[in-house]
Homo-oligomer: A and B are copies of this chain.
Amino acid sequence: MSTSQDGKRSTAKKPRPRRRARHSLSREMILEAAETIAVRDGLDGLTFQALGKELEAHPTSIYRHFRDKDELVLELIDSLRAGSYGGQLEATDSWREDLRVMARHIHDHYLRYPQFALQMAARTTRRPAEFKNVEFALDALVRAGLPPEEATSTMRVFGNVIRALSSMESGLHALDDNTRRGDALAWEVEYRSLSPEAYPRIASMSDHLTSIGDPHVFDQAVEMLLDAVETRVAVLSASTS
C-alpha cells in the first residue's frame, strides 16, 4: 500500500503520476488552490493551467466541478467574503461607533483582496454574512433614531458608499506601479503648476491637495455620512417635540 501506489504520486520528480484517484478533487480543494494562486499571482494568474499545476491535476479536470471560469470566480469571491467578514460584529451602546467599526471591517476586507474588489462591490451574495451585516446596520440606524423608511434607505446609502469607496481604493492598489506612481505624482506636481489665472482656487490651495488614493478619504466619508445621520435625527426630534 505504501510502496507502489504512494510512491507513484509523492516522489513524482517531474512526470505526471499517471492519474489522480477517483474522488481526490472537490470544489473546496479547487477553491482553496484558486485562492492561493489569486493571492500570490493576482487574478490574471488564475488560469486553468495554473490551477492544474497547483492541484497536480489536469487543467481540464476542473470542468468536472465548475461549469466555467466565471462560476469558479464568483464562488471564490463568496467564499472569501464569508471567511473574511464573518460574524464578529457586536452592538455597543454607541450606534456611531458600531457603524464605524462595520465600515472599517468591510473596508479592510476589500483591501485584502485588491484583485477581486472591482467585481465584489456590485454583487449581492445572499448569504448569512451579508444578512448579518444588513441587520446590524439597520439596528444601529434605528437606535440612532431614524424611522424605518429612512433607516432602510440610509443603510443602503451607507453600505453602497462603503463598498464603492473601498472597491475604488482597492482597485487603485491593483494598478501596476508605474501607473499608480504617475497618477499620484500628478497631484503633487502638475496641479501645483497650473496657472493661477485659469485656476485660482487650485493655485491657492494646491498645498493641501492630496492624491486620489489618500486613505484618509474613506474615514472622512464615513464621518460625514454619520454626521448627516445625526443632523437628520436632530431635525426630526425637534419637529416632533
Q: How far is the CA of A214 from the CA of B221 in the complex (A)?
A: 20
Minimum CB–CB distance from A137 to chain B (whole Å) comes to 9
Please, which residues of chain B bring their CB within 8 A of the CB of A199? 131-132, 134-135
Minimum CB–CB distance from A190 to chain B (whole Å) comes to 6
Within 8 Å by CB of A139, from B124, B131, B172, B201, lies B201
Minimum CB–CB distance from A5 to chain B (whole Å) comes to 44
Contact B210 A153 (CB under 8 A): yes
| Interface-facing stretch out of A24-32, A50-58, A95-103, A156-164 | A156-164
A77 at the interface (CB under 8 A from B): no
Please, which residues of chain B bring their CB within 8 A of the CB of A163? 168
Within 8 Å by CB of A122, from B131, B168, B229, lies B168
Contact with B along A201-241 (1 / 0, CB 8 A): 11011001110101011001100110111011000000000
Contact A135 B201 (CB under 8 A): yes
Contact B208 A149 (CB under 8 A): yes
A152 at the interface (CB under 8 A from B): yes
Within 8 Å by CB of A161, from B134, B208, B221, lies B221
What residues make up the interface of A, taking CB atoms closer than 8 Å to B? 118, 121-124, 126, 131-132, 134-135, 138-139, 142, 148-149, 151-154, 156-157, 160-161, 163-165, 167-168, 171-172, 175, 179, 183, 186-187, 190-191, 194, 198-202, 204-205, 208-210, 212, 214, 216-217, 220-221, 224-225, 227-229, 231-232
Please, which residues of chain B bring their CB within 8 A of the CB of A208? 148-149, 151-153
Please, which residues of chain B bring their CB within 8 A of the CB of A209? 152, 156
Please, which residues of chain B bring their CB within 8 A of the CB of A160? 165, 168, 212, 217, 221
Nearest residue (CB) in B for A118 is B118
Known: A118-B118, A175-B122, A228-B228. A164 touches B168 (CB 8 A): yes
Minimum CB–CB distance from A191 to chain B (whole Å) comes to 8
Please, which residues of chain B bring their CB within 8 A of the CB of A217? 153, 156-157, 160
Most chain B CB neighbours (cut-off 10 Å) among A151, A157, A175, A229: A157
Contact A214 B156 (CB under 8 A): yes
